[in-house]
């Protein structure tokens, strides 16, 4: 590749699907993938791209049965971590068990196409139980909903990670109200943002010229609380699937210095997900 990644570079947002014979999809899943995307394919992709660490985010197609993600973490326990999907009333012993398996947070979806939304008061009650574990909340929501939830999210006792640049419309530019609202959230030091999904928020298509300035602004202002992931295998993607190598090489466009890339790809994920020793 044209870009050499720093040692310990992390793909902080991706998924695994199936194989469905071993890990069936949830009966009430909001979507069923057309094809499985097992851990072996993810490992091969990350290895080819030079991504030595990884965060597997449990997908709604598998629901609250986190075994498929747990299986991937177990295969690479030092370098892979997980973000679970859980009911807000999950038992304390299950949280402890998942922590030992390498999970570091819980994701909540507030996107219309992904099914039932957990009431925000229940999310905040769970957040209080996550604090002793050193876990975080991960929030995936439409931009207008993020603004609506902001007052509650600001009460969180644990870090809050916003997915996919807040799902803003990149075509509306840096001054749009939704992106400015995201910047407002990030001025609270509890908030983080994933610079994943530039292929989802673009209007221009690859190489995503309209989305890159938004990512660059976030790196420049909040460089110690940004994360990057490729969102493989790109579930529910509306357009052509992105080129995985291009997604990696575009990092240099919004994180042009070695120091910025070190924080984005290595230091920040290490702090949030607490990886083991790569050696």
- The residue from 163, 231, 243, 277 that is catalytic is 231
Please state, in angstroms and rounded to a whole number, the distance separating the CA atoms of residues 84 and 109: 12
What per-residue confidence (pLDDT) applies to 164?
97
What per-residue confidence (pLDDT) applies to 95?
98
Hey, how many other C-beta atoms are within 10 angstroms of the C-beta on 2?
7
pLDDT, tens digit, 9 for 90 and up, residues 111-147: 765 557 899 999 999 999 999 999 999 999 999 888 8
pLDDT, tens digit, 9 for 90 and up, residues 254-268: 999 999 999 999 999
In angstroms, the first-to-last Cα distance of the chain is 24
Determine contact, residues 191/160, Cβ cutoff 8 Å.
yes
Instruction: Place 1 in a pLDDT band, splitting at 50, 70 and 90.
Output: confident
Per-domain residue ranges for the chain?
10-273
pLDDT, tens digit, 9 for 90 and up, residues 137-173: 999 999 988 889 999 999 999 999 999 999 999 999 9
pLDDT, tens digit, 9 for 90 and up, residues 42-101: 999 999 999 999 999 999 999 999 999 999 999 999 999 999 999 999 999 999 999 999
What per-residue confidence (pLDDT) applies to 60?
93
What per-residue confidence (pLDDT) applies to 146?
82
SS3 3: coil
What per-residue confidence (pLDDT) applies to 238?
81
Asked if residue 279 has pLDDT above 70, the reply is no
What per-residue confidence (pLDDT) applies to 111?
75
CATH of 10-273, one of 3.40.920.10, 3.30.470.20, 3.20.20.140, 3.30.70.360: 3.20.20.140
Hey, how many other C-beta atoms are within 10 angstroms of the C-beta on 44?
10
- Residue 178 bears catalytic tag: no
What per-residue confidence (pLDDT) applies to 278?
77
Express as a percent the part of the chain with pLDDT over 70.
98
- What is the model's pTM? 0.96
């Amino acid at each position: 590749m044209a870009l050499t990644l720093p040692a310990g570079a992390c793909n902080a947002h991706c998924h695994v699907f199936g194989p469905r014979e071993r890990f069936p999809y949830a009966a009430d899943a909001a979507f069923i993938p057309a094809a499985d995307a097992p851990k072996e394919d993810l490992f091969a992709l990350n290895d080819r791209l030079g991504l030595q660490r990884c965060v597997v985010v449990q997908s709604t197609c598998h629901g609250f049965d986190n075994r498929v993600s747990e299986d991937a973490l177990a295969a690479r326990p030092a370098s892979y971590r997980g973000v679970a999907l859980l009911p807000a009333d999950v038992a304390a012993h299950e949280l402890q068990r998942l922590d030992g398996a390498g999970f570091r947070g819980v994701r909540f979806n507030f996107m219309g196409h992904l099914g039932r939304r957990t009431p925000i008061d229940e999310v905040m009650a769970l957040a209080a139980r996550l604090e002793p574990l050193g876990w975080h909340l991960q929030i995936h929501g439409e931009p207008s909903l993020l603004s609506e939830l902001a007052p509650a999210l600001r009460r969180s006792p644990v870090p809050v990670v916003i997915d996919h640049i807040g799902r803003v419309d990149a075509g509306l530019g840096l001054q749009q109200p939704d992106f400015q609202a995201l910047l407002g959230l990030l001025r609270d030091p509890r908030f983080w943002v994933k610079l994943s999904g530039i292929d989802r928020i673009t209007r221009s298509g690859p190489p995503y010229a309209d989305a890159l300035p938004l990512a660059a602004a976030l790196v420049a202002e909040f460089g110690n609380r940004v994360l990057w992931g490729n969102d493989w295998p790109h579930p529910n993607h509306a357009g052509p699937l992105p080129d995985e190598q291009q997604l990696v090489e575009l990092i240099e466009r919004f994180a042009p210095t070695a120091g910025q890339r070190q924080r984005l790809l290595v230091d920040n994920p290490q702090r949030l997900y607490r990886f083991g020793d790569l050696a």
